[in-house]
Amino acid sequence: MVFNSSIHYLNGDLYIDAISVDEVANQVGTPTYVYSLKRVLENYNRLKTAFAQLDTHIHYSAKANSNLAILKSLSEAGAGVDTVSMGEIYRAIQACVDPQHIVFAGVGKTRQEIDYAIQQDIGWFNVENVLELDYIQASAKAQNVEAVNVALRLNPQVTANTHPYISTGHGGAKFGLTAEVIEGILEKQAKYPNIKFAGIHLHIGSQLGDKDATIQAVEKAVALIQPYPQIRTINMGGGIPVPYHFDEETPSIESFAQSLVPLLKDYAVLLEPGRSIVADAGILITEVQYVKQQAGQTFYITDGSMAELIRPSLYQAHHEIVPVKKSDGDLTVNIVGPVCETADVLAKDRVLPEMNVGDKVVVMTAGAYGMVMASNYNARLRPAEVVVSADGESWSVARKRETLEDLLRHEMH
Ligand SMILES: *Cc1c(COP(=O)(O)O)cnc(C)c1O
C-alpha cells in the first residue's frame, strides 16, 4: 500500500523512502517525528512548476515546521522563508537563508522585532497596522536604512471555506488592513521616506477548501493597487490545502494556478506555502503503552499525546493512524495519549488491527503544525525529530529528544 511517493508499506512494514520506520523507532525511541526531505522537495517543486507561467518566488512559511534541516534544504532548492517572529527570522538566518529572501509577517510585531529584522536586512515586511509603519519608518531612519520594502496586508473581507480557527480574511478577523485604510496610507507615502511601498499581501486562511475566495481576494487586491504603478508585487500568502483523509480530494494546485494566471500575469508573485510543503512529508511514531477496554470502547493509550501533536485537540483535526507493522484483525478503537485532559485524543473510532503493548502506530500527515506546536505540558519531554535524506537512502537525528535537565534549563534552582 502506498500513501504518497515517500510513505508506503513493503512486505507489511511501514517505510519512509528507503528507511524502515520500525528501525528508526527502535534506535531513537518514541514518540518521534520523521520527515522525508525528498517529499518536502517534491512538494516544493510541484508548486514551483504549477506557477511557472508567472514570475513567482516561493517563501516557505516557517511556522508550519521550522526545523533547520527543512529550512536548509528548501533554501538550497531556491526557496525564501516567510516568518512571523524574531525567532523564525533567527532560525532562517541560522539555516543560511539569504536575508533578502526573508519576509516578516504578523499582526503584532514588537518594536524589538522590527529593529532586529531591519538590522538583519530582510527582504520584506508584510504590514498589518498603521502604527507599525511608524515604527518601521523610525527604525529604518535610526539605522540609516534607505528603503525598507513593505507589502501592505489587505483584509479582503472574504470568508474562506475552512475551519474558523484558521480563517483570517473575513471582516471580523484581527488580520490585515481594510482597503480604505490601505488607500489612505498610499495617499500619504511621503510620511514614510524610508519605506518603499512595493507590494500588497493577502493570506485569507489555511487549508482553503476552494479557490473562489482566493480569486475574489486577488481581484480585490489587483483593483486596489491599479492606481499605484510602483506596486508590482502581489504576495498571495499560503493556504494551499492538503488531504488529511485517505479518500479526500483537494483542489489541484495546477488548476488553482491556472485560474490565477490571467489575474497576475503583470505582477511579480510571492507565495507563502507552509502546510502544502511539509504536512504529508512527516509522520509521528508512537508506541502503544496500554490497551484498555472501558464503557464498551477500546483505547490504545500511546506515548504520543496532545503535547506532541495538538491539532486533533485544538482543531478537531483528522489524522489517519496506521500500524508500523501490518497485522490481522479489525477493531474499532480510540487512540489517546497520557495527558490529563479529556481532549487528549489523537483519533476516535478508527479501525485498526488488534494491537499489543509495545506495538507502534504512526500518525500520518504530521509534518506541518506538529512539532512547532509541541509543548512541555505535563512536563513532557519534547520528542526527537529525524530527517530522511533527499535521496531517501539515509536518516539522521535533526533534533534530539529533550532530557529531564532541559525541563529545568531556564529555572533558577
Ligand atoms: C500561516 C501563514 C502562511 C502559511 O499557511 P499554510 O496554510 O501553512 O500554507 C502563510 N502566510 C501567512 C501570513 C501565514 O500566517
Cα 128 to ligand 1 centroid, rounded to whole Å: 15
Nearest CA owner, ligand 1 atom 2? 238
Cα 374 to ligand 1 centroid, rounded to whole Å: 18
Query: Of all helices (H) and strands (E), which one includes residue 90?
Result: helix 86-94
pLDDT of residue 399: 98
Pocket test for ligand 1, best of 47, 272, 277 (most atoms within 8 A of CB): 272
Round to whole Å and give the CA distance between 301 and 322. 15
Q: Which of 2, 190, 295, 340 is catalytic?
A: 340
Pocket test for ligand 1, best of 47, 63, 253 (most atoms within 8 A of CB): 63
Cα 139 to ligand 1 centroid, rounded to whole Å: 26
Cα 277 to ligand 1 centroid, rounded to whole Å: 11
Peptide bond into 251 cis (omega under 30): no
Nearest CA owner, ligand 1 atom 11? 237
Round to whole Å and give the CA distance between 165 and 205. 9
Nearest CA owner, ligand 1 atom 10? 238
Give the CA distances from residue 412 to residues 377, 407, 408, 409, in Å, rounded to whole numbers and listed in that order. 19, 12, 8, 8
Cβ(69)–Cβ(282) under 8 Å?
no
- Based on its alpha-carbon atoms, the radius of gyration of the chain, rounded to whole angstroms, reads 22
Q: Which residues pair with 16 in a beta bridge?
A: 7, 19
Cβ(333)–Cβ(19) under 8 Å?
no
Domains and their CATH numbers in the chain: 7-36+279-407 (2.40.37.10), 37-278 (3.20.20.10)
Q: Determine the 3-state secondary structure of 301 from DSSP.
A: strand
Cα 274 to ligand 1 centroid, rounded to whole Å: 6
Cβ(291)–Cβ(284) under 8 Å?
no
pLDDT of residue 195: 98
Q: Which atom of ligand 1 is nearest to 240's Cα?
A: 9
Give the CA distances from residue 241 to residues 156, 162, 238, 357, 360, in Å, rounded to whole numbers and listed in that order. 20, 10, 9, 35, 28
pLDDT of residue 61: 98
pLDDT of residue 171: 67
Q: Which atom of ligand 1 is nearest to 126's Cα?
A: 13
Cα 167 to ligand 1 centroid, rounded to whole Å: 11
Q: What is the pTM of this model?
A: 0.96
Round to whole Å and give the CA distance between 216 and 255. 16
Pairing verdict, β 13-16 and 124-127? unpaired
Pocket test for ligand 1, best of 57, 61, 126 (most atoms within 8 A of CB): 61
How would you label 36-66 residue by residue, b for 16+ Cβ within 10 Å and e otherwise? bbbbbbbbbeebbebbeebebbbbbbbbbbb
pLDDT of residue 329: 84
Q: Which atom of ligand 1 is nearest to 153's Cα?
A: 13
Residues with CB under 6 A from ligand 1: 61, 63-64, 82, 105, 203, 206, 237-240, 272-276
Q: Which atom of ligand 1 is nearest to 201's Cα?
A: 13
| Active site annotation includes 340 | yes
- Cα-to-chain-centroid distance, residue 149: 24
Pocket test for ligand 1, best of 203, 240, 256, 275 (most atoms within 8 A of CB): 203
Cα 47 to ligand 1 centroid, rounded to whole Å: 15
Q: Determine the 3-state secondary structure of 193 from DSSP.
A: coil
DSSP state of 22: H
Cβ(127)–Cβ(133) under 8 Å?
yes
pLDDT block averages, 10 residues each, the chain of length 413: 93 98 98 98 97 96 98 98 98 98 97 98 97 98 98 88 70 85 95 98 84 89 94 93 91 88 94 97 98 96 98 96 93 97 96 96 98 98 98 98 97 87
Round to whole Å and give the CA distance between 291 and 364. 21
The grid coordinates of residue 390 equal 533527499
pLDDT of residue 291: 97
Beta carbons within 10 angstroms of residue 296's beta carbon: 5
Nearest CA owner, ligand 1 atom 5? 238
- Cα-to-chain-centroid distance, residue 370: 9
